[in-house]
Structure formats: C-alpha cells, structure tokens
Amino acid sequence: MVEDVLRIVGEVARVNGISRIDKVNVVIGEYLMVKPSLFEFAFMAAREGTRASGAGLTIETEKVELECPGCRHRYSPQNINFNCPRCSNPNPAIIKGKEMYVKSIEGVDNCG
Ligand SMILES: [Zn+2]
C-alpha cells in the first residue's frame, strides 16, 4: 500500500517535473482501518532511495459514508453497525471512505 503511494508520488513528480519532493499529502479512508502511525512508519522506511527520500507526510482521514440500496438514505455509521438507520437494510453501499489516494505533493521543480 505504501509502495503504491510512493509509485503514484513518483509519477506525479515526474509528470510535473518535480525533482525533490518535500511533502506528501495522503488521504486514507477510515473503512480501510489503516493506522496512520503505522502508515507513516512504513512510508518513512519505503521512501529511501526515491525522490521522496526527504519528504514529510501528512495524513488526512476520510469518514465512511454509506448509501442504503433500499431507501437511498445516505449516512455515516456511528459504530460497527452499518445497518441503515431508516430501514435497517444491512447491505449499504460504501460511497466514501474506502479509498486511499495521494491528495497533493509539494516539492521543488527542475527550474527552481
Ligand atoms: Zn434504508
């Protein structure tokens, strides 16, 4: 997972002509249940030898948002119970919070 992030970061840096990455902003959906501290630890280890070797990391978490297939109600689960609070449908679709993505990167481009 961290390798994926660094791969994406490397791609973005290449496309934008960034030679040195200073900061990586990542969004992690809560549904993935990734501990930010563990992710950061893995990131720090995996960044060695990449353009992001000196980069800091900012992690934003994204709340889980569900949509009920029965009544189309949209809600955030309050606890481990994901059932729809309106009609008790137990199979909501996860529309937010199950992804991890690189929101932005900051760095120095080749000219600067
Ligand atoms: Zn419902």
Residues facing 29 on adjacent strands: 62
Output the CA 77–ligand 1 centroid distance in Å.
Answer: 12
pLDDT tens digit at each of 112 positions of the chain: 788 888 888 888 888 889 899 999 999 999 999 999 999 999 999 999 888 999 999 999 999 999 999 999 999 998 778 999 999 999 999 999 999 999 999 998 866 5
Output the CA 98–ligand 1 centroid distance in Å.
Answer: 20
Distances in Å between the Cα of 76 and the Cα atoms of 24, 33, 51, 58, 93 are 27, 15, 37, 24, 11
Domains of the chain from N-terminus onward = 2-63+97-109 (3.30.2320.50)
Polymer length in residues for the chain: 112
Output the CA 106–ligand 1 centroid distance in Å.
Answer: 42
Q: Are strands 65-67 and 93-96 parallel, antiparallel or unpaired?
A: antiparallel
What's this model's pTM, rounded to 2 decimal places?
0.82
Output the CA 60–ligand 1 centroid distance in Å.
Answer: 29
Q: Name the packing angle between helices 36-46 and 2-15 (round to 10°).
A: 60
